[in-house]
Amino acid sequence: MLTNFPNGISSCGQPIYGGMQDPTVGNIYYVIQNDQSFYGTFERDRRTTYSDGSTNIHNTIQSALDACVADRNDYVVITPDSTTYSDSAGLTMTKACVHLICPSGICAGGMATNAARVISTYAGD
C-alpha cells in the first residue's frame, strides 16, 4: 500500500520515488532535410514553437544542437533519411544534459529507413 512519505512515495516504509525534483524532458528538436518527399507533411503535422522562441524542426544537426539549452534535458532526434547528412566540419556539442538520438527503421508516415551514424571524438583535456 502506498503511503505519504515526507520526501516522496513509499511502500511499506521503503522509498519508491525520492524527494528530488521531478524528472523532466526539455525541448525535443527534430532534424530532417528539406529535400525529403515527406518534409512538407512532417513539418505541417509536427511543427511547434517553444516558449523560448525556438522551433522544433531543423534542417541540420548543428542547428538543432545550437537550439538546445544546457541542463534542460533537451533531445535532438535525427530522422532517418534517404540521403547522407553532410556535417563534414563536425558537430559541436558543448551543453550539458543534451541528448542526441539517431533512430533507424522508422517507417511511419513514409519516413526513410536508413540509420544515421554518429562517430564521437573528444577533444578535451
pLDDT of residue 2: 46
Please, what is the average pLDDT of the chain? Answer: 74
Domain count, the chain: 1
Is 123 inside any structural domain?
no
Is 101 inside any structural domain?
yes
Residue 61 parent element (H or E): helix 61-67
From CA 86, how far away is CA 14, in angstroms rounded?
A: 51
Q: How confident is the model at residue 3 (pLDDT cuts 50, 70, 90)?
A: very low
Q: How confident is the model at residue 5 (pLDDT cuts 50, 70, 90)?
A: very low
Q: How confident is the model at residue 7 (pLDDT cuts 50, 70, 90)?
A: low
Provide the domain limits for residue 103. 22-110
DSSP-derived 3-state class of residue 58: strand
Is 6 inside any structural domain?
no
Could you tell me if 56 and 47 are in contact, meaning their C-beta atoms sit under 8 angstroms apart?
yes
From CA 92, how far away is CA 98, in angstroms rounded?
A: 12
Per-residue pLDDT tens for 53-67?
999 999 888 999 999
From CA 84, how far away is CA 112, in angstroms rounded?
A: 12
